[in-house]
Amino acid sequence: MSEVTQGSKILEDQLKLMDEKYLELRAKLDFARNFFSTTIKKIKIESQELRIKYAHASGGVLLDHVKIPKTTSFDVLPSAPSKKRSCSNNYFDQ
């Protein structure tokens, strides 16, 4: 009978430890959720302000109506022509 009570006590202690760990993890997740939520709200407000500033600076053109070219001046390296290999038993060529 004492073995059953000792086993019960061990299981109860393990359950309490798991509850503590769960509450700790839950608090960390809640903090992260709140932190990122406020960060996203701040970034949204900042982006709206920047969009308004851009519209004023560009004479009323909204960013939604600006066409982005397919090739930009940011392309540093031109695409190199592909070379055919004489040996095709490479694993990646299959």
The whole-number average pLDDT for the span 8-29 is: 96
Q: Which amino acid is at 81?
A: P
Position of tokens 């960013």?
A: 63
The C-alpha angle with vertex 68 and arms to 64 and 73, in degrees rounded to 5, equals 145
Task: Indicate the residue type of 37.
Answer: S
pTM reported for the whole predicted model: 0.51
Is residue 79 within 8 A of residue 70, CB to CB? The reply is no
Task: Give tens-digit pLDDT for 4-14.
Answer: 999 999 999 99
